[in-house]
Amino acid sequence: MPELPEVETVVRHIGPLVSGRSIEGFTAHWHKVTAPETAERFAAQVTGQRIETFVRRGKFILLQLEHGWVHIHLRMTGQLLVADNGQKSNAHIRASFDLSGMRSLLFKDTRKFGRIGYLNDLAILMDKLGPEPLESSFTPHQLANMLHGSRRQVKPLLLDQSFIAGLGNIYVDEALFRARIHPATAARAISTVKAHRLHRAIQEVLTESIRLKGTTFRSFRFGADQSGEFRQSLQIFGRMGEPCPNCGTKISKIRIAQRGTHFCGRCQRKIGAHNS
């Protein structure tokens, strides 16, 4: 599903196609796509404005306008498509922006969880998000301090967008496996050495996935129905029962914080700091 690498892939693909164009109109094809705002009010706020930049923050796609910002969240099944006017329409289109130059930006979302909104001031959104894991300002030392300040289990903590922005179920499982940390470990019990290892694992797994244009596990697509290629590089996610690539032990799948969680019971021991 769209996590940081998938959203980054979408932004890199779509940005050049729409930046500099003007929004000439907006149509909601499903009444809640702009919730809690009404589609009419959203349309009034963005119509006539030029798209200055097209960027990502966490899992949000942000369109900087002349005045204010459009934010788009793909949630689970959202996709952005650019179509030339007159092109045949797709199923599950929930909203469309009419752009200058006879071109449209379409929001496709089978499960209807995705949302589009407008903000005058981006701070309202930014304040709810933790650090960007790939920014150089995000340091191993900082992550260690953050972990040591929490009593929560490490997996739900990493999924919390106010703790760190952009990670979802797939990359949390992958990063914890690569760092050899059990997903149910109390965050404050993670040694500084392991915290630094986790920092490296997070950056490596995200960077590598962006390079391969994300993970297509079920539905993620970008552009003209293209898939990401990182799925082949997944070491633990979706591999329950398969041998651990590190030690050969069967990969386990359990439920932590209501989320399917994959790990190796041998490589990722919950207690004890002796397994490196």
Partner DNA sequence: TCGAATGTTGCGAA
Partner DNA sequence: TTTCGCAACATTCG
Q: Which residues bind DNA (CB under 7 A)?
A: 1-3, 32, 58-59, 73, 75-76, 92, 110-113, 128, 149-153, 156-157, 159, 161, 168-170, 217, 238, 253, 255, 257-260
Let me know if 208 is a catalytic residue: no
3-state SS record for 122-183:
CHHHHCCCCCCCCCCCCCHHHHHHHHHCCCCEHHHHHHCCCCCCCCCHHHHHHHHHHHCCCC
Let me know if 2 is a catalytic residue: yes
* Residue number with CB closer to DNA (22 or 150): 150
* Residue number with CB closer to DNA (137 or 258): 258
> What is the rounded CA–CA span in Å between residue 250 and residue 263?
9
* Residue 35: partners with Cβ closer than 8 Å, 6 or more residues away: 115
Active-site choice (2, 133, 156, 183) = 2
Count of residues in the chain: 276
Tokens at 85, concatenated: 């006017």
> What is the rounded CA–CA span in Å between residue 219 and residue 2?
9
Active-site choice (259, 266, 269, 270) = 259
Q: Least separation, in Å, of the C-beta of 36 and DNA? A: 8
Let me know if 255 is a catalytic residue: no
For residue 153, the one-letter residue type is Q
**Cis, peptide link before residue 243, omega less than 30° from 0:** no
* Residue number with CB closer to DNA (99 or 155): 155
* Residue number with CB closer to DNA (49 or 138): 138
Let me know if 231 is a catalytic residue: no
CA 46 vs CA 1, 110, 118, 184: distances in Å: 28, 24, 8, 44
Q: Least separation, in Å, of the C-beta of 153 and DNA? A: 5
For residue 28, the one-letter residue type is A
* Residue number with CB closer to DNA (218 or 274): 218
Q: Least separation, in Å, of the C-beta of 161 and DNA? A: 5
**What is the distance, to the nearest Å, from the Cα of residue 237 to the centroid of all Cα atoms in its chain?**
16
Q: Least separation, in Å, of the C-beta of 17 and DNA? A: 24
Active-site choice (5, 6, 8, 59) = 59
Q: Least separation, in Å, of the C-beta of 23 and DNA? A: 23
Catalytic residue IDs: 2-3, 59, 259
